[in-house]
Structure 1
């Protein structure tokens, strides 16, 4: 199978272009048309075999995750998807693998309203790079730089299960098969919080997606905003932000996975305390659970506190490719 036959068979779809796409796969460039008065939001992520995923991963799940991690960035900006490009390096043209990968990719693309509009294929070590395009009204972007002292710190969904699965798959811990299956679902099929991102426009003061771990990604908000935060470990462990499977683990492991694990692709965001009821209503409208973990303070730095409000000395660091 040649390169262009591969593209036509697995990645070029027939039918009219969706709104916002003037020209898609098949030309030297795609042409996108954002709605009048909208700003373009653009993000790129790369997934490398052996670094971001195991060689034996289900290709359907890999197709899903490759796009999900990019859509998560749009969610963190409060942007609505327009389309995406795919750069794909393959060791060989494996029809079974390609069918599964493209099925997982397009299932999420269709659900998110984010069509494939172009890209590139080449032969080489398995490597996936997606660039996603979205649109957001000026002034409604959820930037990292808007957090202010007194704001509350929130997180969507649940944290830590992806890291729990990774440690089990690496042989560092043992998990019962049913628990591993649930945690692996969170590792390999994350849910981009697009609906919540849209609902947070005008409510959240700052936001980021949790890709490398809560402490690191919240740290980006704190650095960009010139503020600090006090988080309550008890509020985290006793909230819906932790699954029953993770809560059953030793406390130290549960904290490490939830606070520094990465691969969660949830949203961490801040909002004024006065907006709490409106925020909870927005979360219900997005069908996405949220949990409040603490507050923003004027004093720089990220501080962890126990159930009694006393400071905890937790040596936590988020994932860094070059650390």
Structure 2
């Protein structure tokens, strides 16, 4: 069996050297990390928990579990228009579920590679964390920065603002459906969308000063639009014909199921934003430079509720709800 601190040193925090260039005055190995935010910036902090067989399948590849646990947390920073800086990980691992020590080491190596690869690509420093024994759970706290007064929030939408989404929708739910059917080809676009989501961090930064409100789509378009509408005190009218569907979604699930996945499936980690009509073209040009489309799918109104959708569609994922998928 691998001891706690050996696990941390070998796979999670191989270097205990402080990294002042990364804003880390004191890194992992002490009781707490000491971080140095940039002057003139606000700190954006979020925590996300991934639980086996709730957020990812128990037989998902370890690399994907590592990548995904960080990606879904970073997505919250993207919705705030924050530049990522640091993260902390709390890993709960049940060694008894592995056949032998070799299997544990192989899983940890692949898990750590998935996590650290995304850290490097998104300029995020793992500054500390904790390891304990129990059912496989990964808690990730992320910290980012935005210039003071320029962070995006859920509360800025006003009637008349356009509603738009980055990328395409339904891929997360579509990928989960394929995995449950036995599909294991990780090159399939829907499986990649589900197991290896990409946080839209650069898009969030590009939308600062253009979007009036933003949220990431984790629980489903309708559910997350509901959070934004409540915070902003607006209603919405959606155009179902404008929904951008993920690649291969309709051919894999059929039209009706594809639309339901796009509206209520969750796990897309695209950005849902509102913005004044006069800002739409500028926002589309800014995201176009990133190779990412921004599609207008509706408009905010002063009448609470959502118009333009069938009443029998689901509302998205909710924990502790017996009707949740």
Give the aligned partner of residue 308 of structure 1. none
Give the aligned partner of residue 233 of structure 2. 226
CA apart distance, 1:161: 1.6
Give the aligned partner of residue 37 of structure 2. 34
Q: How does 1:304-315 map to 2 (within 5 A)?
A: 304=308, 312-315=310-313
Corresponding pairs, count: 310
CA apart distance, 1:302: 1.3
Q: How does 1:116-127 map to 2 (within 5 A)?
A: 116-127=126-137
In structure 2, the gaps of 5 or more residues are 96-100
CA distance, structure 1, for counterparts of residue 289 and residue 175 of structure 2: 30
In structure 1, the gaps of 5 or more residues are 306-311
CA distance, structure 1, for counterparts of residue 56 and residue 228 of structure 2: 27
CA distance 1:39–1:23, shift in 2 (3 Å): same
Residue 261 (structure 2) pairs with residue 260 (structure 1): no
Q: Decide which of 87, 92, 96 is 1:84's aligned counterpart.
A: 87
CA distance, structure 1, for counterparts of residue 247 and residue 176 of structure 2: 17
CA distance, structure 2, for counterparts of residue 244 and residue 201 of structure 1: 28
CA apart distance, 1:218: 0.9
Give the aligned partner of residue 98 of structure 2. none
Give the aligned partner of residue 61 of structure 1. 64
Indicate if the aligned counterparts of 2:219 and 2:318 stay in contact, CA closer than 8 A. Answer: yes
Give the aligned partner of residue 113 of structure 1. 123
The TM-score, its normalising length taken from structure 1, stands at: 0.92
Indicate if the aligned counterparts of 1:168 and 1:180 stay in contact, CA closer than 8 A. Answer: no
RMSD (Å) for aligned C-alpha atoms: 1.7
CA distance, structure 2, for counterparts of residue 152 and residue 113 of structure 1: 32
CA distance, structure 1, for counterparts of residue 250 and residue 121 of structure 2: 31
CA distance, structure 2, for counterparts of residue 261 and residue 119 of structure 1: 31
Give the aligned partner of residue 320 of structure 2. 322
Give the aligned partner of residue 250 of structure 1. 254
Moved beyond 6 Å, runs of 4+: 177-180
CA distance, structure 2, for counterparts of residue 88 and residue 287 of structure 1: 34
- 1:70-97 CA distance string (max 9 Å, x none): 1100000001111000001111171101
